[in-house]
Amino acid sequence: MPNSSAKRTIRYAVVGLGHIAQAAVLPAFHNAHNSELFALVSGDLEKLKTLGEKYSLDHLYGYKDYGRVLSNVDAVYLALPNHLHREYAVRAAAAGVHVLCEKPMAVTEEECRAMIKAADQNDVKLMIAYRLHFEAGNLEAIEVARSGRLGDVRFFTSEFAQQVAEENVRISETAAHGGGSVYDMGVYCINAARYLFRSEPIEVSAVSARKNSDDRFLRVEEMVSVTIRFPEERLATFTCSFGAAHIGRYSLLGTKGMLQADPAYGYATSIEHQMTIGGKTKKKTFPKRDQFAAELVYFSDCILKDKDPEPSGYEGLLDVRVIQAIYESIRTRRAVRLPEPMGKKKPGSDQEIRRPAHGEPQIVRAHPPSKAA
């Protein structure tokens, strides 16, 4: 691996060239001054060739050459299907290469712990790509919740849905391999509830539903509704769906007022807030930014300055353990208690990084996850 301590730019390989990588990750390097797009990894040779020419890259590799990739870069951005995260993260860490991994971190808590252990043992940084931890609108919501302006925050609600495309990997893989709406969309709702309440869940209850006449849902659930109990008698509820009209919003209600973010979770639109306190409503729009460039800048800075990243691997693990509890509750039809985890740092306003939005790149041999996209 190149010696990153003597330079100010971190060389990355982007591993996996599906829609999210092409639409958001690859273009983000243009706005990330301390991060260099150096190599691409894919099993599709035509895609590699076309994107290599587009981004003027010579280092193009198939998955069987992953070991060669790791000898030429400082960090990898893993944009792979969820069940492959552990393998490719552990191999990178063993080679002394830092890992920025898409969410959800992995399929099981055991896999997450293996990734954390590999990073610790090899003294490399591991960060999970929670892009909203650097987004102005999201961070302002956290500050509003913490400030007391809403009073004692009591409950969180969220709806996140899309009409998933028939050929998408999110429904071709079972939940046991990280497919389904909870891993893909529910993780946003779980993460938001955790940082807005600034505490960790203690109990999870969930139910799922599936329209039997829709062949998209032969391997995964169509939708899941979840209730999560937090300390201080706070509740978070959300529904995520692969079979409903597009929506992505949350509401946080306290004893004095409420805050709604709608849209809340996207990277291709602005974030909009509506806050009502004492009968008076104020609206605020946060313009679309390049959220992926922000996380690249932050992670590279952590590598260059030897800082521990937030969101860490442990942050990713805490969401995955909730996801596992959701599926256990669906299976057993009972509430699932969660052990109390160790405390950890939550995102705050000091993490805001603004980078200008980019246009929509042409996508090569990859399809958007949603029918409507």
- The top-level CATH class assigned to 4-131+292-311 is alpha beta
**Cα 50 from Cα 291, distance rounded (Å):** 25
Q: 178: closest CA among 247, 77, 67, 84?
A: 84
Q: In what order do the strands lie in the sheet with 10-15?
A: 59-61, 35-41, 10-15, 75-78, 98-101, 126-128
Q: 104 and 187 in contact (C-beta within 8 Å)?
A: yes
**Cα 295 from Cα 132, distance rounded (Å):** 9
Active site residues: 103, 188
Question: How many Cα atoms occupy the beta-carbon half-sphere of 237 within 13 Å?
Answer: 6
The phi and psi torsions of 284 (rounded to 5 degrees) equal: -145, 135
pTM listed for this prediction:
0.93
Q: 271 and 249 in contact (C-beta within 8 Å)?
A: no
**Cα 291 from Cα 301, distance rounded (Å):** 16
Name residue 57's amino acid: L
- Helix 85-94 and helix 109-121, axial crossing angle in degrees, nearest 10: 10
pLDDT at 342: 66
- Residue found by looking up tokens 């009972």 in the block: 334
Neighbours of 105 (CB within 10 A): 34
3-class state of residue 81 by DSSP: coil
Q: 81: closest CA among 130, 133, 17?
A: 17
Question: How many Cα atoms occupy the beta-carbon half-sphere of 328 within 13 Å?
Answer: 13
Distance of CA 114 to the CA centre of its chain: 19
DSSP 179: -
pLDDT at 213: 82
pLDDT per position in the chain (373 positions), as tens?
A: 554 445 689 999 999 999 999 999 999 999 999 999 999 999 999 999 999 999 999 999 999 999 999 999 999 999 999 999 999 999 999 999 999 999 999 999 999 999 999 999 999 999 999 999 999 999 999 999 999 999 999 999 999 999 998 877 888 888 888 999 999 999 999 999 999 999 999 999 999 999 888 989 988 999 999 999 999 999 999 999 999 999 999 999 999 999 999 999 999 899 999 999 999 999 999 999 999 999 999 999 999 999 999 999 999 999 999 999 999 999 999 999 998 876 667 787 788 888 877 777 888 878 778 765 4
Q: Tokens for 110?
A: 């055991």
pLDDT at 77: 98
Distance of CA 246 to the CA centre of its chain: 18
Q: Tokens for 249?
A: 């919003």
Query: What count of residues does the chain have?
Result: 373
Strands 98-101 and 75-78: parallel
**Which residues make up the CATH 3.40.50.720 domain(s) of the chain?**
4-131+292-311
Q: 44 and 365 in contact (C-beta within 8 Å)?
A: yes
Fold entry, domain 136-287+320-337? Dihydrodipicolinate Reductase; domain 2 (3.30.360)
